């Protein structure tokens, strides 16, 4: 794999997807960070707040702050169904609406800051997916060590992903990921997981089925507020990963077309039982 030089970073445009559920108290900081980053780098990237049926002022706070900061922001609202389906539908929406080179999933709580994009080792292969890997220290920043419970849950997910799915990435669940926009329709159009394992499912489709390269990006993580990952979520994820494994073994995922002619018009979910919001 050939790595592009840092000087080519400015050539890549990115659309930022922020899944948000009742983030009125935390999204202010995230949007300010994005605004400062864009201003310092001289870019004007679209920001999509994917509202997962919030019952607080997430939408109005986002819109008011975007107007104040001059952010190119769109709020897309869906019924409350969880992060997985919200990210899926927002990605499909953005792929059909914007012409960015990449679409980035970034959690709305600013626990992983957007400026860590500066340390992506860009590949010359346009099919490459970039995923964050949370570490204790990276590029002069010191992160927070996860709690023992989270470490056990992460270890379990890592083991299950390796054994059942053949994934060798130690942090499949990190909320910092970039996908080539032209491939988003076929990739997210195959997503069936509605829970925490959706990241692993996407990596199976991209890396195991379609042989798309994946580059890990060391990032630091600083929690801001109480975690929403529960023990119950861990238990349901264990069952969900078995479902992904069964689909994979049965050949239910199709290889993604990676020619430049891939049409963004394919931005739809091809499961008759699924809703695009």
pLDDT recorded at residue 151:
64
| Three-state DSSP state, 60 | helix
**Cα distance between residue 31 and residue 42, in whole Å:** 16
- Average pLDDT, rounded, for the chain: 86
For 101, other C-beta atoms within 10 Å of its C-beta total 14
Bridge pairing between strands 176-180 and 129-134: antiparallel
**Cα distance between residue 177 and residue 216, in whole Å:** 9
E-strand spans in the chain?
A: 14-20, 47-52, 73-78, 102-106, 129-134, 137-138, 141-142, 176-180, 214-219
For residue 45 the two structure tokens come to: 């990237």
Name the nearest CA neighbour of 92 among 271, 252, 229.
271
pLDDT recorded at residue 146:
62
pLDDT above 90 coverage of the chain, percent: 70
pLDDT recorded at residue 232:
59
Domains of the chain, by residue range, sit at: 11-259
State pLDDT tens for residues 64-106: 999 999 999 999 999 999 999 999 999 999 999 999 999 999 9
Residue 116 has pLDDT above 60, yes or no: yes
At how many degrees (to 10) do helices 231-249 and 148-165 cross?
Answer: 10
pLDDT recorded at residue 6:
40
Average pLDDT, integer, range 49-65:
98
Band (252; pLDDT cuts 50, 70, 90): very high
pLDDT recorded at residue 161:
86
For residue 257 the two structure tokens come to: 């077309």
Residue 277 has pLDDT above 60, yes or no: no
Residue 228 has pLDDT above 70, yes or no: no
Residue 33 has pLDDT above 60, yes or no: yes
Span 11-259: which CATH code?
Answer: 3.90.550.10
**Cα distance between residue 168 and residue 216, in whole Å:** 11
């Amino acid at each position: 794999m050939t790595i592009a030089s840092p000087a080519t970073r400015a050539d890549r445009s990115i659309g930022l997807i922020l899944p948000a559920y009742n983030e009125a108290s935390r999204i202010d900081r995230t949007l300010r960070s994005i605004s400062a980053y864009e201003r310092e780098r001289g870019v004007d990237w679209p920001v999509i707040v994917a509202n997962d049926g919030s019952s607080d002022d997430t939408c109005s706070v986002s819109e008011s702050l975007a107007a104040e900061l001059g952010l190119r922001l769109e709020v897309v609202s869906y019924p409350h169904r969880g992060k997985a389906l919200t990210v899926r539908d927002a990605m499909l929406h953005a792929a059909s609406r914007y012409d960015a080179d990449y679409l980035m999933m970034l959690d709305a709580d600013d626990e992983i800051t957007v400026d860590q994009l500066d340390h992506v080792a860009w590949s010359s292969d346009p099919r490459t997916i970039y995923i964050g890997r949370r570490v204790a220290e990276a590029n002069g920043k010191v992160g927070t060590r996860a709690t023992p419970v989270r470490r056990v849950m992460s270890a379990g997910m890592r083991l299950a992903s390796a054994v059942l799915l053949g994934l060798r990435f130690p942090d499949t669940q990190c909320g910092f990921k970039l996908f080539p926009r032209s491939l988003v329709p076929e990739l997210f159009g195959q997503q069936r997981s509605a829970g925490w394992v959706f990241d692993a499912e996407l990596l199976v489709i991209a890396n195991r089925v379609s042989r798309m390269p994946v580059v890990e990006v060391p990032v630091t993580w600083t929690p801001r507020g109480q975690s929403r990952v529960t023990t119950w979520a861990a238990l349901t994820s264990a069952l969900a990963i078995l479902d992904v494994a069964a689909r994979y073994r049965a050949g239910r995922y199709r290889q993604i077309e990676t020619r430049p002619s891939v049409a963004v018009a394919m931005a739809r979910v091809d499961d008759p039982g699924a809703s695009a919001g």
